[in-house]
Structure 1
Amino acid sequence: MKLVFLRHGESEYNLSGLCNADPGVPVALTPAGRRQAQAAAERLRGLPIRRVYVSRLRRAQETAAIVNACHCAEIHVDARLDDRNTGFEGLPVTQYLNAMHGAPDPFAWKAPGGESYREMVTRVHGFLADLSEVDEAAVLVVTHHEVLQAVAGYFQNLDPARMWLVWVDNCETLEFAGGMNHAAMRPLSF
């Protein structure tokens, strides 16, 4: 099975530098984000994608719809693919990053009402474990930057500090092939 993980296109909050993990806050793609999604659709056109997984957030769902237009695959919404709930909804990303990195253990730290980086990684790894049961030639997963860090950690056996260094730009992909049960592809234990 070929697994393609795609970060959503540029969003309004990307431009404003604001946090969003609440699906009730409809943060849309920018015109540039829609062009990025269309370019991703062209790159992925030749893959036999029959199943798409997407977070509940509007920017990811818009991206998935654009890319899926040429595949007409089944779309499955999964909350485990949502962006990390930083506890800083609608506030500047810089405030969240300063708070996180000021903590003694930034990967265990969480703001009131938020989730820690490790908690986010655990939910994403749960999704990936369930994905091992899917029987398709190619699967597309449209999600968010920190979620993609956790995906890279799962497949590349990275600890949280090394996951944090993974960078995936808007509408860039991470791709993995082969069986999900391969020993090198087991989730980490924290």
Structure 2
Amino acid sequence: MDIYFMRHGRTNYNDLGLCNDDPSRDVHLTEVGIEQAKLAALALRDVVFDRIIVSPLPRTYQTAEVINCYHAVPIEVHPDLADIRSGFDGIPVSDYFSAIIHDPLRIRVNGGESLLDHKQRVLRFIDWLKEQKDKTLLVVAHEETMRVFVAYFEGGVKDDQLRDIHVGNCEYKHYVLNCA
């Protein structure tokens, strides 16, 4: 199966430097984010997707809608693609990083999940993908989620190196998943 994994376009919370894992908050693509999605849509216009899978957070769906202007395929939400539940929704990302500095892989703060918890959830999604019958998919997710995809498909990335992987808004990666 060919899978294109993409990070969502730039949002108002990216501009403000705030965490978000609550789908009910007004976190949306900015004009820059919409333009990023349009450029990605042009780059992917000739790829024949069977469907697009997004996280429950609206910014991924908004990005997928722009990409889908060339495809008109179903857009489906999968809960395992949600961004890391940091426990810092609406709070500066810098505060979150300060809270997990002593053990960034395992610390759970304010009822959130650790980076390793998040990684396990994303790996569960990859296992789910292996059972799907699609030929080509687009998955729109978040930077933290993209880090797990990159580490899984490119290999050689230790857990403590996940944070060293950076994926820009609307940057995408193409991988082949061998299904059972």
Give the TM-score taking structure 1 as reference length.
0.90
Equivalent positions of 1:157-172 (< 5 A) are 157=155, 158-172=157-171
**Sequence identity (%):** 36
Look up the SS of the partner of 2:70 in the other structure. Answer: coil
Contact 1:26 1:57 in 2 (8 A): no
Q: Does 1:177 align with 2:176?
A: yes
- Residues in 1 aligned to 2:177 and 2:142: alpha-carbon distance in whole angstroms: 23
2:138 corresponds to which residue? 140
1:184 corresponds to which residue? none
Q: Deviations over 1:91-115 (max 9, x none)?
A: 10011111112x2x21001102110
Contact 1:55 1:78 in 2 (8 A): yes
Aligned length: 179
Equivalent positions of 1:34-49 (< 5 A) are 34-49=34-49
1:120 corresponds to which residue? 118
Give the TM-score taking structure 2 as reference length.
0.95
Letter in 2 for 1:44: L
2:23 corresponds to which residue? 23
Pick the aligned partner of 2:151 from 150, 153, 175. Answer: 153
Letter in 2 for 1:41: A
Equivalent positions of 1:49-88 (< 5 A) are 49-88=49-88
Question: Which 5+ residue runs of structure 2 have no aligned equivalent?
Answer: none
Question: Which 5+ residue runs of structure 1 have no aligned equivalent?
Answer: 182-190
How large is the RMSD of aligned CA atoms in angstroms? 1.2
Look up the SS of the partner of 1:69 in the other structure. Answer: helix
Look up the SS of the partner of 1:49 in the other structure. Answer: coil
Contact 1:3 1:139 in 2 (8 A): yes
Shift of 1:51: 1.1
- Residues in 2 aligned to 1:145 and 1:78: alpha-carbon distance in whole angstroms: 16
- Residues in 1 aligned to 2:22 and 2:112: alpha-carbon distance in whole angstroms: 11
Contact 2:55 2:78 in 1 (8 A): yes
Shift of 1:180: 4.3
Shift of 1:178: 4.5
Letter in 2 for 1:131: L
1:92 corresponds to which residue? 92
Look up the SS of the partner of 1:33 in the other structure. Answer: helix
